A = this chain, B = another copy of it.
């Protein structure tokens, strides 16, 4: 840890200090998700969700992968997530019975069931 430590730490804690971003992290426990899937669960504007995802990524709390037009986000694996995992574990234990989180998980199941393509099409038509 060098003099960047504080900057990095605050980037993380600030990233965690928002309910939508916490909800996203909890959702990601189930595996990687594309942006439109996160939009569907949070029911926020695409631009808003994209911003949240970029903040989480900049904080090292998410990794991303581009596949064609789709962007997939997931929890960081391996050594990349060493500093992150304890935080996520702590969050998970704090929130495992939180209604919002449980509800999001349920909605996630529905969303993962239909493929992203048809999901985005529905979104374009306005739900």
Contact = CB atoms under 8 A, between A and B. Distances in A.
A13 interface: yes
Interface string A85-127: 0110011011111111100000000000000000000000000
Give this chain's copy count: 2
Contacts of A70: none
Interface of A, helix, strand, loop or mixed by DSSP: helix
A88 to B, nearest CB: 11
Interface residues of A, number: 29
Given A1-B95, A86-B90, A100 B17 contact: no
Interface string A40-51: 000000000000
In the complex, which of the residues A1, A18, A96, A97 has the most CB atoms of chain B within 10 Å of its own CB atom? A1
Interface of A: 1-3, 5-6, 8-10, 13-14, 16-19, 22, 83, 86-87, 90-91, 93-101
